[in-house]
A and B are shown apart, each in its own frame.
Chain A
Amino acid sequence: MKNLSIRAVYSLCLGLILSQSAAANYLDDNLRKLNWNGVEVVWIEDNQYPTYDVTVYFYDGALSDNSKRYGETELMLDQITAGTLRYTQKQIANHLEFFGASYGGSVTHEFSTYSISGLVKDIVPTVKKVCHIFTNATFPKKELAKTKRRIVTSLNNIVTSHSSLANRAFRKISLNGTPYANPVSGTLKSIKRIKQKHLLARLKHFNTKVKKRIYIKGPSGIKQLENVFNKDCNWKGSDVVLNTPDVPKAAKKIVTKEKKKTIYLVPIPNSNQAQIRVGRYLSTDETQGSYELKRFSSKYLGGGFTSRLMQELRVKRGLTYSVGAYSSSQRTYGRSGISTFTKNETIGETLQVIKDVLDKEASDIGKDTFMTAKRALKGNYLFGLESSSAFLQNLLFFDHINRPYKEIYDFPMVIDKVKAVDLQKTIKEYFNWDDQVIVILGSKKLKLPLINEGYIVKTINYKKFL
């Protein structure tokens, strides 16, 4: 027994050292920082295969969309390939796809990215073409009209994707009164208001004002890109930072003052399963807290089959197929929450189990699950280094939230020092049942059982979230 313990401790320590040194060595050996025309470049040298990934980071996102035209940044990056004075949409797509390149934009509230990947031998013509569209996109009116029509049709049809619609409704309700409540993709109303001139203005803003950083994974051949970015994209360094709106300390509650817990029910037709979202908004102050503890609480409550919620909801009771918990932040705001679903008949029981788990873990952490989650986080950390492309995205995010890369490789050590009481406090802070907003999407017949369970039920038509 004694020998076993010593072996376990040795193994644990060795694992930690290996993990930390693996990350540190990886960064030391492969990470290069360059400066192209004032634009910072982060390059991971990876010579394994003749492929590359390039991601351009823009320090601006949907937060600065016009308040009546949410979705314009995302639409701008989507429509950037819709045509230039020289090339049509078809020609642009044909050119880029011929090289087998993947390309496209992604927008969050705080930042945006445009990513390109393909074979190194084609990197110059591919990136040149992308630079061409960034500097010459015209957003032809006819193309824009077609795209808007597609978006409107798809949004109307989101009722067939219960999980997506539940996420959309939950964002709107739980972040009510904050600038993050609107989806980055916009709404039926806001999309209709976006015109060609808005996209042109948005692109000009991104090209000339917004701070950029370029992230590259690939072999040494990528050095050819400096000339392309400097001459064809003509991007320069910028100190302009995101114009962050006033961020409230808490989301506005739609209904308050009742003693009973309120549930927002979003009825949809032909549903025999209830989507459940429980969570809350984290203010800027709360984003400053330990991200390691936030990740620990997510893992402990709803990350994998050994997590507390998965054990109680699925393994012991068969109430759901999956459950996940999260607590994470961007630079100025964050969210914590739980996402699951269950059959209509067990909606009350499922909510009660979630409440019981949160209440219990806020006062008494289970020792076994705590150790399991701790070992899981430490060991799993290595897998974040496996794919250079995925690791590059990790670096991008750390730069965005203004945290040093050192924290990436210190992660296992920090996790190792977490005590049960730290986790308990974190769960109490972010997952306190009384603070959680609850949204249920499913059959309208769920209303009565929820009332019978002692909840106040506010029904909201799903169309309000389109």
Chain B
Amino acid sequence: MKLRWIPLGALLVLLVSACAGLNSTSKNDESSDGMVGKELNSISLDAHKKVFSNGLTAIVVENHKLPIFTYYTYYKVGGKFEDEGITGASHYLEHMMFKGAKKYGAGEFDRLVEGNGGSNNAYTTNDLTVYYENLPSEHLATMIDLEADRMQNLLLEEKSFESERDVVLEERKMRYENKDNGKIYLKMMQEVFKGTPYGTSVIGKIKDLKSVTRDQMHDYFKKFYAPNNAVILIVGDFDKDDVFDLLEEKFGKIPSTNNLEKFKKEVVAKKGFDFKAKFNKRINLNGTSINPVFMLGFKGVKIGSVDSYALDILASMLGDGESSYLNQEYVQSRKPKLTNVYAANYTLQDAGVFFFGGQLLKGRNLKTFERNFKKKLIKSCDVALDARSLQKIKNQYLVGMLSGLDTNAGIAKLLGDREIYYGDYNFYKKEFGIYNSIGLEQVRSVCKKYLNKEDSIFLSIWNKHKKKGVR
């Protein structure tokens, strides 16, 4: 089924940038047209948080619908902490975390999770490395033991370290080198954040992936995989007190890393997050696309900043759904220019990028399109944004959020993202209020402030562009 109103932009808003939320106070709920208050009040998540003496944070939510649970572990380490020479280390380490620890050796993690009817996976971003598992409730104690074991005693065996290096290189090829959409996205992120800790890709440079040693990886693990750098979320069928007791038993004695926050600040301070790239430029990439694919990146803001909420709404108003301004102008218009178009406000922990993307229709001229698109964007701040579109987006955020709550994993992610980004798992209660309070003038204001031609980089990938190679 096509989720017509959730293309990339809103997905980023709802999933990556962790922006949809709700407010249970009726005043804020009804500030627009009173459409959302009753629905918001239907949400009641009985979450409990505990911070252990070694700095580990755990949040648990009982949900007795079925005898199952979801377990999330957020490690506050991602691509931004990687020095030159070890780019891709966070993600490579994510792979290695499934390769055995002291108590549960090679292959045991997957055997115990999958063999008990569970599933598991992980992902790495510029800011975080996140692991998640779903299992029948009777195996919760085993899961806690497995996670505690690998947090403190990862093996990093030579043989599996080498075979996993090839696996990561294949993943890189699959996601970026053999896919034009991946290639152009990687390049945009590298260019917009050039010279900052976000300028090194999460997947890493090929030469670094080929050269990083087991010792370097072990050091990296020791620095960042510690209880005071982790947040655990467990949602499911159990007794919360039993779970806190088990966590205390298994994690309570794991030592924290001294001066970790100071060290992390020093690592990222070497470059700093202020934009250093040269903007107002064009980048052509050689690819296999028969028709050009484009991205247009602007300087953005970090998550939780005052303007970030209005920029989320702006992205959705411009590019979400068939009725959005850009869709109507460029895809559905009488003389369409694109096969598809999207807008996204990608807010990271310390900076952000606001971007557009799409694919040109056969026969459309790239340069003419670029000129026209930039010109229309400026005008869009006045002509594209109206009260009805604003309310539409607020309604869509509400539905998107409610839809995510029918699984333990959805609840765990909702709370976990907010704990990580706002230091308050309950922030979802305030968040929708913030969105709901945003008025049209505020959206127009950020539109004019950030969609500035001088602060943008236009990228395109096409088989007619000359080959220059992509790092």
Q: In the bound complex, do residue A272 and residue B4 qualify as a contact, i.e. CB atoms below 8 Å apart?
A: no
Minimum CB–CB distance for B106 against chain A, Å:
9
Flag B398-421 by CB within 8 Å of A: 1 or 0 each.
111011011110000000000000
Given A160-B288, A317-B163, A150 and B361 contact (CB-CB distance below 8 Å): yes
| Distance between Cα atoms of A280 and B6 in the complex (Å) | 35
Minimum CB–CB distance for B206 against chain A, Å:
11
Closest to B182 in A: A160
| Distance between Cα atoms of A314 and B291 in the complex (Å) | 35
Residues on the B chain within 8 Å of A387, using CB? 406-407
Q: In the bound complex, do residue B399 and residue A100 qualify as a contact, i.e. CB atoms below 8 Å apart?
A: yes
Residues on the B chain within 8 Å of A305, using CB? 98, 110, 114
| Distance between Cα atoms of A341 and B117 in the complex (Å) | 27
| Distance between Cα atoms of A98 and B324 in the complex (Å) | 11
A417 interfacial contact with B, CB 8 Å: no
Flag B171-188 by CB within 8 Å of A: 1 or 0 each.
101100111110000000
Picked from B1, B35, B359, the residue with its CB within 8 Å of the CB of A104 is B1
Residues on the B chain within 8 Å of A149, using CB? 336, 361-362
Q: In the bound complex, do residue B406 and residue A386 qualify as a contact, i.e. CB atoms below 8 Å apart?
A: yes
Closest to A51 in B: B402
A103-151: which residues lie under 8 A (CB-CB) from chain B? Answer: 103-106, 113, 115, 117-119, 121, 142, 146, 149-150
Given A22-B67, A379-B118, A150 and B288 contact (CB-CB distance below 8 Å): no
Closest to B165 in A: A318
B42 interfacial contact with A, CB 8 Å: yes
Comparing A192-200, A225-233, A263-271, A447-455, the segment that makes contact with chain B is: A263-271
A256 interfacial contact with B, CB 8 Å: no
A36 interfacial contact with B, CB 8 Å: no
Residues on the B chain within 8 Å of A316, using CB? 163
Q: In the bound complex, do residue A100 and residue B400 qualify as a contact, i.e. CB atoms below 8 Å apart?
A: yes
B350 interfacial contact with A, CB 8 Å: no
| Distance between Cα atoms of A146 and B336 in the complex (Å) | 7
Comparing B130-138, B209-217, B253-261, B367-375, the segment that makes contact with chain A is: B130-138
Residues on the A chain within 8 Å of B170, using CB? 273, 318-321, 341-343
Q: In the bound complex, do residue A102 and residue B408 qualify as a contact, i.e. CB atoms below 8 Å apart?
A: no
Closest to A118 in B: B399
Closest to B115 in A: A372
Residues on the B chain within 8 Å of A351, using CB? none
Given A162-B179, A372-B111, A99 and B362 contact (CB-CB distance below 8 Å): no
Closest to A149 in B: B361
Q: In the bound complex, do residue B339 and residue A150 qualify as a contact, i.e. CB atoms below 8 Å apart?
A: yes
Comparing B74-82, B388-396, B425-433, the segment that makes contact with chain A is: B388-396
Q: In the bound complex, do residue B116 and residue A273 qualify as a contact, i.e. CB atoms below 8 Å apart?
A: no
| Distance between Cα atoms of A211 and B80 in the complex (Å) | 56
Picked from B98, B115, B117, B359, the residue with its CB within 8 Å of the CB of A381 is B117
Given A49-B402, A156-B362, A383-B68, A269 and B288 contact (CB-CB distance below 8 Å): yes
B274 interfacial contact with A, CB 8 Å: no
A309 interfacial contact with B, CB 8 Å: no
Q: In the bound complex, do residue A382 and residue B43 qualify as a contact, i.e. CB atoms below 8 Å apart?
A: no
Q: In the bound complex, do residue B1 and residue A102 qualify as a contact, i.e. CB atoms below 8 Å apart?
A: yes
Q: In the bound complex, do residue B38 and residue A162 qualify as a contact, i.e. CB atoms below 8 Å apart?
A: no
Minimum CB–CB distance for B236 against chain A, Å:
10
| Distance between Cα atoms of A376 and B39 in the complex (Å) | 37
Q: In the bound complex, do residue A386 and residue B39 qualify as a contact, i.e. CB atoms below 8 Å apart?
A: no
B166 interfacial contact with A, CB 8 Å: yes
B328 interfacial contact with A, CB 8 Å: yes
Comparing A87-95, A357-365, A396-404, the segment that makes contact with chain B is: A87-95
Q: In the bound complex, do residue B290 and residue A375 qualify as a contact, i.e. CB atoms below 8 Å apart?
A: no
Closest to A163 in B: B174
Query: How many residues on the B side are at the interface (Cβ–Cβ under 8 A)?
Result: 84
Picked from A154, A160, A381, the residue with its CB within 8 Å of the CB of B181 is A160
Flag B41-55 by CB within 8 Å of A: 1 or 0 each.
011000000000000
| Distance between Cα atoms of A163 and B35 in the complex (Å) | 43
A9-64: which residues lie under 8 A (CB-CB) from chain B? Answer: 11, 14-15, 18, 22, 48-51
Closest to A299 in B: B114
Q: In the bound complex, do residue B163 and residue A318 qualify as a contact, i.e. CB atoms below 8 Å apart?
A: yes
| Distance between Cα atoms of A291 and B65 in the complex (Å) | 28
Q: In the bound complex, do residue A377 and residue B396 qualify as a contact, i.e. CB atoms below 8 Å apart?
A: no
Q: In the bound complex, do residue B66 and residue A22 qualify as a contact, i.e. CB atoms below 8 Å apart?
A: yes
Residues on the B chain within 8 Å of A102, using CB? 1-6, 399
| Distance between Cα atoms of A305 and B164 in the complex (Å) | 13
Q: In the bound complex, do residue B396 and residue A97 qualify as a contact, i.e. CB atoms below 8 Å apart?
A: yes
B204 interfacial contact with A, CB 8 Å: no
A244 interfacial contact with B, CB 8 Å: no
Q: In the bound complex, do residue B406 and residue A389 qualify as a contact, i.e. CB atoms below 8 Å apart?
A: yes
Residues on the A chain within 8 Å of B168, using CB? 321
A220 interfacial contact with B, CB 8 Å: no
B422-471: which residues lie under 8 A (CB-CB) from chain A? Answer: 463
B26 interfacial contact with A, CB 8 Å: no
A418 interfacial contact with B, CB 8 Å: no
Q: In the bound complex, do residue B336 and residue A150 qualify as a contact, i.e. CB atoms below 8 Å apart?
A: yes
| Distance between Cα atoms of A321 and B35 in the complex (Å) | 46
**Residue among A317, A382, A385 with the highest chain B CB neighbour number at 10 A:** A382
| Distance between Cα atoms of A121 and B289 in the complex (Å) | 44
Residues on the A chain within 8 Å of B165, using CB? 318
Q: In the bound complex, do residue B117 and residue A146 qualify as a contact, i.e. CB atoms below 8 Å apart?
A: no
| Distance between Cα atoms of A48 and B162 in the complex (Å) | 48
A339 interfacial contact with B, CB 8 Å: no
Closest to A379 in B: B117
Given A49-B43, A100-B396, A306 and B403 contact (CB-CB distance below 8 Å): no
Minimum CB–CB distance for A57 against chain B, Å:
13
Given A117-B403, A154-B339, A162-B178, A379 and B322 contact (CB-CB distance below 8 Å): no
Closest to B327 in A: A93
Picked from A94, A121, A272, A385, the residue with its CB within 8 Å of the CB of B38 is A121
Q: In the bound complex, do residue B66 and residue A90 qualify as a contact, i.e. CB atoms below 8 Å apart?
A: no
Minimum CB–CB distance for A17 against chain B, Å:
11
Q: In the bound complex, do residue B178 and residue A49 qualify as a contact, i.e. CB atoms below 8 Å apart?
A: no
Q: A51-B403, A318-B167, A319-B166 are in contact. List 5 more A-B contacts (CB 8 A).
A: A93-B321, A102-B399, A104-B4, A320-B170, A385-B66
Per CB-CB distance, the 6 closest pairs between chain A and chain B, nearest first, are A379-B117, A318-B166, A318-B163, A100-B399, A104-B2, A93-B323
Q: List 23 A-B contacts (CB under 8 A).
A: A15-B117, A48-B405, A49-B39, A97-B4, A100-B395, A101-B399, A104-B1, A106-B1, A119-B395, A142-B334, A150-B336, A150-B340, A152-B362, A160-B180, A270-B288, A306-B107, A320-B167, A321-B168, A382-B68, A382-B117, A382-B136, A386-B65, A389-B406
